[in-house]
Amino acid sequence: MLRYSRFITQLLLIIAIGSTGAFAQSDGDLSKEELAKINRELDNPLAKRWSLVFQENLTINQGDLIDNGVVSHTVFFQPALPIPFGRNKVFTARPVFPLVTQPDFSADATGGKKVIGFGDIQMAALFGPGNARGWVWGAGATFAFPTATNLNLGKGKYQAGPALMLFHLGETWNKGVFIQHWWSFAGDESRADVSVTDFQYIIRRSFGTASFGMGPTIRIDWTKDLKDGLTIPIGLGYTKTVRMGNTPVKMRIEPQYSVIRPDDYASVWNLRIQIAPVIKSPFLD
C-alpha cells in the first residue's frame, strides 16, 4: 500500500503542477508569511483564492459481505474558482469529478474483481462573506448528477439539498463544519431512493506553513437503520504549503479510521492524499 500511495502522490503532483503552467502566480518569491496565510485560508470553502484540488482516497473496506478487507480508491478533481462581488461577498460553485475503482460484487461476491470508471459528479454552490480571518459562514445548495459509467459507481439518481458551513479562522486554530444533504428527486426508478447527510468537521492547528489536524466526514444514510447507516471517522493529518516555481501548492496526507461503521460493508481505514496548486484569480490583485 505504501508503494501504491507514493505512486499516486507522484502522479497527482505531476498532474497538478502540469495543469497550472498557464495559470502560475506572478507574485515572485513568496515569503513564509504569505505561504502560511495561504495555508490557513484554504481551509475555508469560501476562500477567495483559486485552487485546483486533486485528492486520492485509498480505502480498506470490511464487513459481513466479504471475508477479507477489500481495497478501493477514488481520485477527485475539484476546482475551486470563487467569484467575489458586492461588499466582501463570495459565490462559489465547487464541482467534484470522481474517478472510482470499486469492488464489482456482481461479478465476484468476494470483491476480488474491480470496476473502474467515472462516478456521480457533485457540486456545492455557496454564498457568504469572504473573510480571511474570524467567523465565516456560507449557505447554498448541493447537487449530484447520475454520471457514473457503471451501476456500481453511482446512485443512478438526480439529487439536491441544502449546504451550510460555519468556520472560525484564527492565527493558530482553524475550526469549522461543512454540512451537505442530498435527496433524490429523479433518475432511474429501479434504483433506491437517496437521503444522505455528510457532516465534515475540521480542526487544525497551524504552525506557519504547516498544520496538524483532521477533516473527516461523518455520513448518515437516512434510508437505513442508524446502526447500518452511520459512519463516523476520526483522523490526524499533516498539511504543508510550499512554493513550486511561482505556484503555491498545498499538500496534505491524512489517515482516517472509522470508529463507528455499518456491519455489512464499510470503510475501515482511509488514506487521504491531497495536492492543491493555487492559481491566479483574475479578481485578486
Query: What are the tens digits of pLDDT across the range 82-101?
Result: 998 877 889 999 999 999 99
Query: pLDDT tens for residues 27-57?
Result: 446 788 888 888 888 888 888 889 999 999 9
Mean pLDDT computed over 217-244: 94
DSSP 193: P
Question: CA distances (Å), 235 to each of 190, 256, 269, in order?
Answer: 37, 4, 10
Q: What fold does the segment set 2-279 form as a domain?
A: Porin (2.40.160)
Q: What is the pLDDT of residue 146?
A: 97
The model carries a pTM of 0.86
Question: Is it the case that residue 118 has pLDDT exceeding 90?
Answer: yes
Q: What is the pLDDT of residue 11?
A: 54
Query: pLDDT tens for residues 205-218?
Result: 999 899 999 999 99
Question: Is it the case that residue 80 has pLDDT exceeding 60?
Answer: yes
* CB contact at 8 A, 93 and 123: yes
d(CA 106, CA 3): 29
Residues near 141 by beta carbon (within 8 Å), at least 6 away in sequence: 124, 125, 160, 161, 162, 163
Residues near 285 by beta carbon (within 8 Å), at least 6 away in sequence: none
Query: pLDDT tens for residues 161-192?
Result: 999 999 999 889 999 999 999 999 999 999 99
Query: pLDDT tens for residues 240-263?
Result: 999 988 889 999 999 999 999 998
Q: What is the pLDDT of residue 18?
A: 54
